[in-house]
Amino acid sequence: MVPNGLRISPLGPTDFEDWLTLSSALFTKTPKEQLETKLRRKEQQDKYRTFMARMDGSSIGFITVTLRTDYVEGTATSPVGYMEAIYVLPEYRKLGVAKALYQKGESWCKNLGCTEIGSDTWYWKKEAHTFHKKLGFNEGDVLVHFNKKIDP
């Protein structure tokens, strides 16, 4: 059940600081300056859309979705919608806010011709796995990234 007074709307001109603050709570290992640069870039591209969730005038969560034309693991079509990030303040979780945000993001993707939507999360984020499954996502693949420094 979605809380009374929940409002979800596209990111507006005065929402950037709230988006940055909420994103910082999600991406705790990314320095704020670097995160701000990334968000400013996304804000300027039409293929990205961010929706903000508000209660009583305060921002309590967001979702950022994108339209991808590159291959998205486990999909068979193009373009594919992609849930880049979703976050809800802890005190508003388990109230349907994230689901409402997701539905808004999925609707945006569908309106742009997408018949599939993808997402990802870290393997150790078990709550995120459960959340994705509740939304109807299927696990597409498990990927481990490797890197190595090259000697000069």
Residue-wise pLDDT tens digits, 3-15: 789 999 999 989 9
Structure tokens that stand for 67 in this block:
């339209």
Is the pLDDT at 123 greater than 90, yes or no? no
pLDDT of residue 1: 65
In three-state secondary structure terms, 33 is helix
Number of structural domains the chain divides into: 1
| Residue 141 counted as domain residue | no
User: How confident is the model at residue 8, as a pLDDT?
Assistant: 97
Instruction: Give the pLDDT band of residue 122 (cuts 50, 70, 90).
Output: confident
Smallest CA-to-CA distance from 85 within 113, 63, 100 is with 63
Alpha helices in 1-152 (DSSP H): 16-26, 32-43, 97-111, 126-134
pLDDT of the residue at 2? 75
Q: For the residues 67-84, what does the mean pLDDT come to?
A: 92
Report d(CA 61, CA 11) in Å as an integer: 11
Q: Which residue has the tokens 């704020």?
A: 32
Q: Which two tokens stand for residue 45?
A: 């591209």
Task: Look at residue 103 and tell me if it is in a domain.
Answer: yes
Distance CA 95, CA 98 (A): 8
Helix axes 32-43, 16-26, angle to 10 degrees: 130
Start-to-end Cα distance in the chain: 58
pLDDT of residue 147: 87
Q: Is residue 152 part of a domain?
A: no
Whether 145 shows a pLDDT value over 80: the answer reads no
Establish if 112 belongs to a structural domain.
yes
Please tell me the distance from the alpha carbon of residue 127 to that of residue 88, in angstroms, as a whole number: 13
Residue 143 has pLDDT above 90, yes or no: no
Residues 6+ apart with CB under 8 A from 87: 22, 23, 25, 26, 61, 62
In a domain, 145, yes or no: no
**Average pLDDT over every residue of 27-45:** 95
Residue 31 domain flag: yes
Is residue 2 situated within a structural domain? no
pLDDT greater than 90 at residue 19? yes
141: pLDDT strictly greater than 80: no
Domain extent at residue 112: 7-134
Q: What is the CATH number of the domain that holds 102?
A: 3.40.630.30
- CA 86 – CA 65 distance, rounded (Å): 9
- Residue 149 forms part of a structural domain: no
pLDDT above 90 as % of the chain: 77
